[in-house]
Chain A
């Protein structure tokens, strides 16, 4: 599905958080959203998820403005994968994933064989099927994040919105989760993922959207949009780009930006 954002502006308590943001993401595209803390990444995602609806401009999924869609219709198209956090009540992994199927059910019914098949498929895709009976709260961070991705897959929406999914993970799990996400994009999902690590954006995503102070600082192909100048602008640090066999690597300069 195609996600299109046109001239999006949003103010929160009289402060303009997003200003004139425009971009789009095609089917099968992995779009990384980068920018410093407070640049408006989370706010942008909340607008796309329909949490904030008093924005100006247009957010459209396959041509339909999302404000005209009901909660259920929106859940049919866009799934959200939050940062992992300690849940108040730990559910089994199966139940956690099954929750993603809720919008297929009428309010008074419980998941049936069809939903369970859906959840099992999603768990198998993400390689977490063997954890089905475990308590979500007792899993490692990497496993939890994959389970949350599986829940989004069980939701059967084509657009995945991920708010800094790797920020609470160790080095290995960060790469493993991003690898999986890239595979999902290759399978046809549209992925919107915010990250604090420009290297991740460069290595895994097709395109990059850079936000600075609520405005679009750059939007384009990952290897073209991410430049030394952009990183200087976003984070006030000086870096070099090294070409290697494994791709382009971002290396901070010594005594970086501390002056």
Chain B
């Protein structure tokens, strides 16, 4: 039997009930994907609204109603496609559970994904800000190079906004170099 992403539930039907049911290859899985996407829209809408007060105009009622409609479609298909009433009932219950789970997984998944993304972005921005505050330029103080000159002055390299280098001695003297720090001369 040919398997693909869009026929996962069809394969499940065939695995459980075999020839006792003749469902469409794609209908159930496509409705499941729709439910997951509804959950994602609801989750991201609520998350962005709660955190940043952005309104995505997501209606919980419309999402629940749409999910119920999709469950209804699958109930019709179950009744028509199953050879016995017992299989039709069991399949309807199974699909109802799967579609509701899809909605919940989409909701929780999108909230978790957005929360992780927010934390990662916040940490990255915090590192950038912290580095800029400590070093006055990008990269922070950890990567800064230092040289001890023969006159006793200690020269420190600082990076400018565009990546250009500035060399300042501990005495306050500004230096420059043409050979990457082998020899320095006063500006």
Chain A complexes with chain B: no
Chain B positions within 8 Å of A, measured between CB atoms, are none
Chain A positions within 8 Å of B, measured between CB atoms, are none
